[in-house]
């Protein structure tokens, strides 16, 4: 799309004109909003960890992880199925009011379960109260998924970006206000509760004003149809939430509260990195769903572009992060969180694996093989729980990190096998191989460069952008040189 004036700029960022332009627009909005909001929330949690200390931060992290175990009940995989079905047939959008009502009912179920099980998971009245307050926030946050599903199906993710930014700005403002003026884990939880209420009200108003009058309805037929399609994803979500949160819950349950604080200090930074995978995958999934039936060739082309992009990002993040981990933890959290360094390095290995597994997972879902995703996730969850039960008592937070990385490696292996057997996707190809070789080469050269300059005790804020610049300069420089050599060979 050629941009000549303000109208063209407006259409570039707010209209769906072509396949490439739509992917660019959606990626821009999701990327911008996720990067901005992750920075805000990370900024908030850094100050929370610094001001409250590892023990109180551990209490907050344990309560947050425990309530997170129940958030998946709100959605049960419905939002992803709704995105797929609405994207395929616009008339299916008529089901939206019924799905909205269903998720409200599921929200009440999740709240009741959180309140009930909180009576058994901890003996601390303070932690129990924090759990109750954070339950409202996490439920509200999870409930936004069905609204976002509508935006994604329309491929108008600028509205999802707006919701994401609103929620992050609200929780950061209220959280910082509380943590500086009335510092306590209970008061911080009240800030999150208010954010959840404001967030749901904002999404309802946005949908009502921009798309259609907000309606609710009851239809057992619609509920049954969507649940019949989504139950594998629902179980995947439940299992995924278990192996995503069970480490913090187990650490807290075994009264390793300070260790929970150290572990989550590392895990929060990992979460900020994983947002790159999230927004890339979110931007590609609606298009993958659309072209699965329409064109196998375009489906393969889009999938290859997605995994190439994730490979490009994964290698430097993992290697650079491991090298600079001590400096990153020291700069962000201060010396009291040095035990977080090794956990952070182990979890970075999980980041690379997570980046690689997502394209395979999405290909299976787009091809209507979500049951394969379920069985893979079930296997990973069982292994993860057993690994945590074995490793945490012996190695504490480092055992939890190792269990997480091992789980994702098993899941990646299974996804690759299922994708090759049950879809038309093929990961072999000269273009993908070239991207991988260039990424590995540029990463190795980046490592040598950073390792050399680290001896001069340069500040982490200099080393990180320096490493990024070196990597991308080498990658695209080598790619350009390869094209020139290939062209020269063909002319001989």
pLDDT tens digits, 181-235: 999 999 999 999 999 999 999 998 988 888 878 888 888 888 898 888 887 777 7
- With a CB cutoff of 8 Å and minimum separation 6, the contacts of 56 are 184, 185, 261
- Confirm whether pTM is higher than 0.85: no
Q: How far is CA 244 from the centre of its chain?
A: 11
**Residue ranges per structural domain of the chain:** 18-427
The encoded tokens of residue 382 equal 């069982």
In contact, 93 and 242? CB cutoff 8 Å: no
Torsion sign (Cα): 144, 145, 146, 148: positive
CA distance 147 to 167: 14
DSSP labels for 31-66?
Answer: HHHHHHHHHHHHHHHHHHHHHHHHHHHHHHHHHHHH
| Averaged pLDDT score across all residues of the chain | 86
Q: What angle do CA 399, 334, 343 make, to 5 degrees?
A: 15
pLDDT by residue (tens digit) across 254-312?
888 899 999 999 998 998 888 788 878 877 887 888 788 778 888 888 899 999 999 99
Q: What is the pLDDT along the chain (492 residues), one digit of tens a residue?
A: 444 555 555 555 556 666 666 666 667 777 777 778 878 888 999 999 989 988 899 999 999 999 988 888 888 888 888 888 887 777 778 888 888 889 889 999 999 999 999 988 888 899 999 999 999 998 888 778 888 888 878 777 778 888 889 999 999 999 999 999 999 999 999 999 999 999 999 998 988 888 878 888 888 888 898 888 887 777 777 777 787 788 988 998 888 889 999 999 999 899 888 878 887 887 788 788 878 877 888 888 889 999 999 999 999 999 999 999 999 999 988 778 899 999 999 999 999 999 999 999 999 988 888 888 888 888 988 999 999 999 999 999 999 999 999 999 999 999 999 999 988 888 777 778 889 999 999 999 999 988 888 767 788 889 999 999 999 999 999 887 877 676 555 565
Q: What is the dihedral of CA 172, 177, 183, 187, to 10 degrees?
A: -70
Exposure letters 43-81 (e unless 16+ CB within 10 A, then b): ebbbbbbbebebebbbbbbbbbbbbbbbbbbbbbbbbbb
Distance CA 203, CA 225 (A): 25
476-to-254, 289, 321 alpha-carbon distances in Å: 49, 30, 21
- Spatial distance between the Cα atoms of 275 and 273, rounded to a whole number of angstroms: 5
């Amino acid at each position: 799309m050629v941009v000549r004036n303000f109208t063209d700029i407006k259409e570039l960022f707010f209209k769906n004109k072509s396949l490439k332009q739509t992917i660019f627009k959606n990626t821009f909005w999701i990327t911008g909003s996720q990067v901005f909001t992750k920075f805000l929330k990370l900024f908030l949690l850094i100050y929370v960890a610094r001001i409250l200390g590892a023990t109180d931060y551990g209490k907050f992290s344990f309560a947050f992880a425990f309530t997170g175990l129940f958030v998946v009940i709100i959605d049960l995989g419905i939002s992803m199925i709704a995105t797929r079905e609405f994207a395929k047939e616009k008339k299916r959008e008529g089901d939206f009011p019924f799905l909205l009502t269903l998720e409200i009912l599921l929200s009440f179920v999740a709240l009741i379960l959180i309140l009930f099980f909180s009576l058994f998971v901890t003996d601390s009245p303070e932690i129990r109260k924090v759990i109750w307050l954070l339950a409202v926030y996490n439920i509200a946050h999870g409930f936004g998924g069905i609204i976002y599903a509508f935006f994604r199906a329309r491929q108008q993710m600028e509205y999802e970006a707006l919701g994401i930014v609103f929620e992050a700005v609200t929780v950061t403002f209220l959280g910082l206000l509380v943590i500086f003026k009335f510092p306590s884990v209970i008061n911080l939880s009240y800030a999150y509760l208010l954010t959840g209420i404001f967030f749901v009200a904002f999404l309802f108003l946005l949908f009502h004003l921009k798309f259609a009058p907000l309606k609710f309805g009851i239809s057992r037929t619609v509920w049954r149809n969507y649940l019949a399609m989504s139950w594998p994803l629902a179980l995947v979500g439940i299992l995924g939430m278990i192996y995503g949160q069970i480490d913090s819950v187990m650490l807290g349950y075994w009264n390793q509260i300070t260790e929970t604080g150290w572990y989550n200090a590392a895990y929060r930074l990992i979460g900020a990195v994983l947002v790159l995978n999230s927004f890339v995958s979110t931007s590609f999934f609606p298009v993958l769903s659309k072209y699965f039936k329409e064109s196998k060739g375009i489906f393969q082309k889009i999938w290859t572009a997605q995994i190439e992009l994730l490979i490009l990002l994964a290698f430097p993040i993992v290697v650079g992060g491991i090298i600079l981990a001590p400096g990153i933890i020291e700069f962000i959290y201060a010396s009291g969180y040095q035990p977080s360094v090794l956990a952070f390095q182990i979890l970075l290995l999980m980041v690379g694996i997570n980046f690689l597994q997502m394209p395979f997972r999405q290909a299976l879902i787009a091809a209507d093989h979500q049951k394969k995703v379920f069985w893979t996730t079930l296997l990973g969850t069982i292994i993860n729980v057993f690994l945590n039960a074995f490793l945490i008592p012996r190695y504490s937070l480092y055992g939890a990190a190792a269990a997480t990385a091992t789980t994702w490696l098993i899941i990646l292996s299974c996804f690759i096998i299922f994708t090759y057997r049950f879809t038309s996707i093929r990961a072999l190809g000269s273009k993908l191989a070239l991207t991988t070789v260039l990424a590995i080469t540029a990463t190795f050269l980046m490592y040598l460069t950073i390792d050399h300059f680290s001896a001069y005790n340069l500040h982490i804020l200099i080393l990180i952008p320096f490493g990024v610049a070196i990597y991308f300069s080498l990658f695209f420089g080598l790619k350009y040189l390869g094209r020139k050599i290939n062209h020269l060979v063909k002319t001989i």
